[in-house]
Structure 1
């Protein structure tokens, strides 16, 4: 009897955890403005021609991002549970339980390597501020030496402790307050770095590359890349918005929230471009250097500018802020599931999940040469986990949301809260446009479809 009362109390507490209206917007924006827009977006934009690709990304964000974003929030609020039970509680039946579990497993696995990269950003922020980053001009060697050692495990631990410390405080006192502090701080850093970047010598070349479109640079491959990034940049298909939706108050307008979240994501990407491209062009750095752009090429640029250590430190703090806000959102998904599934308290759930994520993340942290044997089939453990989750599990999860919302969900009109005309447009997009585009994303990310 006592155990049943304890379980009922825990379930009631979980169901009654709520964001404030403004806090929800901050938290949802925090989930989307992660490393993807500050790290991946600049280099894929550089690889695909600049401004024309950015405009294509905006179109894809509107066409596929907005409808699926609204669907996830509405399903989450309708289900009022973890991502694992969102589809079932929203009226999908037990057949949809597997789709929900997938959206818990994917973010859990993602965090095992994402927290490693978050640790890199924290290390680089400290490294830049104390000047050690700029003692040598061979930044590729420095990055390789750091990632191939054991120090990343220390920073991985620090990152998971910070992330868990926020989530353990709960939805309102932890996640909401954390994002209310970090998001304004992130915006301030963005503006400071943008002003510094656009006032550098020859920065106009980078601004032109990013803002003056040359559509001859686009290709079918560019369209697929833009489509995939529009989906991933909003954290779709990974249970975050299903989980956050369950904490949204009934009076919150999901349509307005959807627009605000997408706008925040877009503005962040836009300002990131106005930081990266003027900086790289000013110092003669090619903008298409792939993932090494942030950790190798940009430190070279900072080392050559006045007060470079300070601006380099601010840049990597910006990266760390972005990484941590996303990590907090990702962690809440498996924590919410564990609380619901085992009727554990939030502190117990957070500690257990964080401990497992840390242990499973160690092979990813050691994938860059610290320990031989972490390469399987030509890919490191880090690369395999990234590929399976980002390229397979997330698109499949997104497709499940689309199919459920478009063809199975009977309460969609009521749950979305859209007026009749807007609902018809949303339903048309979800039923006939989004599935086709989502299948294209899945075929492209898995390598089945490519135009290169």
Structure 2
């Protein structure tokens, strides 16, 4: 059997894991979620949930990966008690990784398109109506959406085909370092804008009046959901990177570092967008359209807006592409582990599957817009996002948690031994009751409430 590839350095592992986690959820979803959920209190609760829920589940995925040295389906087959059926979850995890990229590639294509438009200066001197028309033209053009989705997929396949260390690790490290540097620069620039202090107050200072307007329950659920969404937990998205590392360091410290870097990027993304909204009298609760309809107006009115807008959409694209590459590495690994394909063939196979599978999502905004699954106003992307975010992520996280803590699964003793192998922070055995009772209860609530609130 061919020896398992491994990541070349600890920094590579941290940046690669963080790169998979850091994506549209941080730089697009997080700022508008903060805006919609009353500001600072949401940020505070989000960080709390990340520590007490996100980090423990992240250590579980890493532990399963490192102990098995396999991708998620093969890992569960190897670690599960003889005769049990835990591995069935692995098929859903594989499906989740494919479905996620079938709409993520399209949204990544939007960002690439906006980067090109920003570089060309297409937003400068335009009225809000003109900018809305630019967005409308993009969304109504199947050719444009499929072209930029296709370019993103070509880059993803090319990088992954180069190898784990020479391609995935090396390119992701470069992108992540550039992303962080660009973000810090943009964050400093945003804080120098007039009236930006009011934006910072809204963003970081808890204000219970804002919370009451939204509803405390909605804010708590939003922060809980975001803490799972941002780390890509529940479909083996992080498990794969555990399978590429050695037992030199314990997994708690690594999980905290990855979650910390992920949170840093999310918070700085908010520090770029929220103060800029306040500086130019734009509502920060404009939802998903904040990035594509609102911020181009800000760049249009800002001194040096063409350069700043170009850098903003470049960092957005790096964030999206790092997730594309990280999740795609899962899809490649599935084919290597299950079918024995070499890396290049596995990347080509997965690339063709996802590219073809992404076309319905692109057509859902124009040619197939009459097809509205789930409820009125939905498009195909909403259905795909619902399957991943409302079903597979919370239910998958629950199964992963039960597998690592239940005596009928891999078991708490095996999990804790793997997590604590190596130097670094250790997981306390005193947390056993929390992992076996509290965590599963919260995950069940997340899954049930998420379904109820979506349709209610």
Q: Where does residue 3 of structure 1 map in the other structure?
A: none
Distance 1:124 1:142 in 2: 10
1:144 to 2:143 alignment: no
The answer for unaligned runs of 5 or more in structure 1 is 1-7
Aligned-pair CA distance for 1:146: 0.5
1:412 to 2:415 alignment: yes
Aligned-pair CA distance for 1:231: 1.0
The alignment of Structure 1 onto Structure 2 pairs a total of residues equal to 440
Aligned-pair CA distance for 1:331: 0.6
1:387 to 2:386 alignment: yes
Q: 1:313 to 1:420 in 2, by over 3 A?
A: closer
Distance 1:146 1:428 in 2: 52
Matches within 5 A, 1:180-199: 180-199=173-192
Matches within 5 A, 1:352-363: 352-363=349-360
Distance 1:274 1:214 in 2: 17
Distance 1:420 1:287 in 2: 39
The answer for unaligned runs of 5 or more in structure 2 is none
Q: Is the 8 A contact 1:68 1:402 kept in 2?
A: yes
Q: Where does residue 204 of structure 2 map in the other structure?
A: 211
Distance 1:266 1:306 in 2: 29
Q: 1:371 to 1:95 in 2, by over 3 A?
A: closer
Secondary structure of the corresponding residue to residue 51 of structure 2? helix
1:442 to 2:451 alignment: no
Distance 1:34 1:429 in 2: 30
Aligned-pair CA distance for 1:338: 0.8
Q: TM-score, normalised by structure 2?
A: 0.93
Q: Which of 240, 258, 278 is 1:261 aligned to? A: 258
Report the more deviating stretch, 30-39 or 129-138: 129-138
Report the more deviating stretch, 208-217 or 197-206: 208-217
Q: Give CA deviations for 1:370-397 in whole Å, capped at 9, x if unaligned.
A: 4454434532211111111221111111
Aligned-pair CA distance for 1:447: 2.6
Q: TM-score, normalised by structure 1?
A: 0.93
Q: Where does residue 11 of structure 2 map in the other structure?
A: 22
Distance 1:387 1:77 in 2: 30
Aligned-pair CA distance for 1:420: 11
Q: Give CA deviations for 1:389-448 in whole Å, capped at 9, x if unaligned.
A: 221111111111111111122311211116997332443332122111111211232235
Matches within 5 A, 1:224-303: 224-303=221-300
Q: Where does residue 398 of structure 2 map in the other structure?
A: 399
Q: Where does residue 320 of structure 1 map in the other structure?
A: 317
Aligned-pair CA distance for 1:166: 1.2
Report the more deviating stretch, 249-258 or 46-55: 249-258
Aligned-pair CA distance for 1:115: 0.3
Report the more deviating stretch, 225-234 or 141-150: 141-150
Q: Is the 8 A contact 2:74 2:337 kept in 1?
A: no
What is the root-mean-square deviation in Å for CA atoms of aligned residues? 1.8
Aligned-pair CA distance for 1:215: 3.0
